[in-house]
């Protein structure tokens, strides 16, 4: 338990981790009910959350943690609803904060939470994270926060930079304030591969000193990571920033390329392709991302960490279209457009640091993930 005093790496350089050594969620500081204690005994007896000998996380070393009450912001969204599936399935109590933001059809998010509402270990608070007072009135004691609520999407952030700043930066600070006021010691933050921007040196490593964001969205994620460092240093809140690389799978946001293309192709309509098809993305299947988040909830090696969650493998836009054609059994009619401002030419995650910190993470092969997405889309 507690902090291994090794330094964590941050793109701005090696940071001072003099605050290490505080117990986190595995320290079981918050009171547990009888049901929780029972679950905890069951988990303990199967040693499901113990580390491998020698202190090295290694393969599958941390995939569970003691039964806890988790606050998940953005838990009605794409990634958040998958995370809640998993947390409830593992026996945890979950409170979701989500304002059903209209960035895409809120009825999709209502459908996402429908099965969760049937659990008596689930609560939903329809709160805007910009509203600090409403957050403060949130009932419950939480062992950890997973902060996913955000305005997501690169291109729309160029049209509404102030709106993105208010939700993604001020909103994040409000959630961090909640952690500070309530003494919540573990905070997992959804950052993004977009923070690397046009850094030409690939695969992107967390210790690269080159962050060259090219959209307001990306800059808000850089700000979130930096705010997290402040709260980690000043208040001992363990902060794990996870840089997600293009996440896909069932319930994927409708604005993202895979979902948008597949829907248009099935409707026999042309797909808008920006650029010559050579842009590359490191795609991550949503279940693999959820596993990374769950392990980060249990991460206790140091008070601050920034980790990539991707696949260390890239696919060009042209390859994606060919794979979609194969998976859906439909030929795509392509409508070419010039490159879009804010779009980066490539994303590519080095997974060395995340593997060292969290153990070997599952990496669903892209054709298999695409098949599972297509099965969901076809209903
Ligand atoms: N999907 C990806 O490929 C990807 C990649 C990198 C980072 N991320 C990050 O992961 C997180 C989840 O992304 P997602 O794809 O599931 O997006 P999503 O839009 O499906 O989920 C975000 C959720 O946050 C909620 N929300 C938005 N503004 C809010 C506010 N002011 N108050 C309360 N709730 C609010 C939305 O209603 C939504 O349910 C985001 O922080 C996003 O920036 C996603």
Report the interhelical angle of 257-266 vs 317-328 (nearest 10°): 40
Those residues with Cβ within 8 angstroms of residue 227's Cβ, 6 or more apart along the chain or in another chain: 169, 172, 173, 176
What's the gap in Å between 192 CA and the centre of ligand 1? 11
Q: In this structure, which residue's CA is closest to atom 7 in ligand 1?
A: 192
Q: Is any ligand 1 atom within 6 A of the Cβ of residue 241?
A: no
Annotated active-site residue in 217, 235, 283, 304 = 217
Q: Closest by alpha carbon to 262, among 129, 178, 375, 101? A: 375
**CA–CA dist 366, 374 (Å, integer):** 12
Q: Is any ligand 1 atom within 6 A of the Cβ of residue 284?
A: no
pLDDT for residue 208: 83
Q: Kind of pairing, strands 144-147 and 69-73?
A: parallel
pTM confidence score = 0.87
Q: Is any ligand 1 atom within 6 A of the Cβ of residue 99?
A: yes
Q: Is any ligand 1 atom within 6 A of the Cβ of residue 100?
A: yes
pLDDT for residue 61: 39
pLDDT for residue 12: 27
- Which ligand 1 atom sits closest to the C-alpha of 101? 37
> What is the residue-level pLDDT of the chain in tens, covering all 379 positions?
233 322 332 222 222 222 233 333 333 233 333 343 333 223 222 222 222 222 333 333 345 789 899 999 999 999 999 999 999 999 999 999 999 999 999 999 999 999 999 999 999 999 999 999 999 999 999 999 999 999 999 999 999 999 999 999 999 999 999 999 999 999 999 999 999 999 999 999 999 877 899 999 999 999 999 999 999 999 999 999 999 999 999 999 999 999 999 999 999 999 999 999 999 999 999 999 999 999 999 999 999 999 999 999 999 999 999 999 999 999 999 999 999 898 999 999 999 999 999 999 999 999 999 999 999 999 9
pLDDT for residue 63: 54
Q: Any catalytic annotation for residue 217?
A: yes
Q: Kind of pairing, strands 13-14 and 9-10?
A: antiparallel
78 φ, ψ to 5°? -60, -65
Q: Is any ligand 1 atom within 6 A of the Cβ of residue 65?
A: no
**CA–CA dist 68, 49 (Å, integer):** 13
pLDDT for residue 54: 27
| 9-247+285-313+348-364 CATH choice from 1.10.10.1100, 3.40.10.10, 3.40.50.300, 3.40.50.720 | 3.40.50.720
Number of Cβ within 10 Å of residue 190's Cβ equals: 28
What's the gap in Å between 214 CA and the centre of ligand 1? 19
pLDDT for residue 1: 28
Taken in order 235, 97, 171, 164, the sign of the CA dihedral is positive
């Amino acid at each position: 338990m507690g902090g291994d005093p090794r330094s964590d790496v941050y793109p701005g350089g090696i940071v001072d981790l003099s605050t290490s050594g505080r117990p986190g969620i595995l320290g079981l500081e918050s009171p547990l009910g009888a049901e929780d204690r029972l679950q905890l005994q069951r988990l303990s007896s199967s040693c499901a959350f113990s580390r491998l000998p020698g202190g090295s996380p290694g393969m599958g070393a941390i995939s569970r943690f003691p039964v806890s009450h988790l606050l998940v912001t953005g838990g009605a969204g794409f990634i958040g609803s998958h995370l809640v599936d998993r947390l409830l399935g593992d026996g945890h109590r979950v409170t979701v904060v989500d304002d059903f933001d209209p960035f895409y059809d809120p009825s999709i998010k209502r459908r996402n939470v429908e099965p969760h509402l049937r659990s008596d270990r689930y609560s939903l608070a329809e709160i805007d994270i910009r509203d600090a007072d409403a957050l403060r009135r949130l009932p419950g004691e939480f062992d950890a926060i997973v902060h996913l609520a955000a305005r997501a999407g690169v291109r729309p952030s160029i049209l509404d930079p102030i709106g993105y700043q208010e939700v993604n930066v001020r909103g994040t600070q409000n959630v961090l304030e909640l952690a500070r006021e309530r003494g919540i010691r573990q905070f997992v933050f959804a950052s993004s591969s977009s923070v690397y921007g046009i850094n030409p040196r690939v695969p992107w490593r967390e210790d690269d000193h080159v962050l060259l964001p090219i959209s307001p969205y990306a800059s808000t994620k850089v700000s979130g990571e930096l705010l997290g460092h402040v709260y980690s240093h000043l208040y001992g809140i363990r902060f794990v920033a996870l840089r997600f690389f293009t996440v896909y799978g069932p319930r994927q946001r409708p604005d993202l390329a895979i979902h948008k293309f597949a829907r248009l192709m099935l409707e026999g309509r042309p797909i808008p392709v920006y650029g010559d098809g050579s842009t590359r993305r490191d795609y991550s299947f949503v279940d693999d991302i959820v596993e990374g988040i769950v392990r980060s909830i249990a991460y206790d090696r140091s008070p601050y960490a920034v980790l990539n969650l991707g696949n260390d493998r890239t696919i060009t836009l042209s390859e994606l279209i060919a794979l979609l054609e194969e998976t859906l059994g439909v030929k795509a009619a392509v409508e070419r457009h010039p490159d879009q401002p804010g779009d980066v030419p490539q994303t590519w995650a080095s997974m060395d640091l995340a593997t060292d910190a969290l153990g070997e993470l599952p990496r669903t092969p892209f054709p298999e993930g695409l098949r599972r997405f297509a099965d969901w889309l076809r209903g």
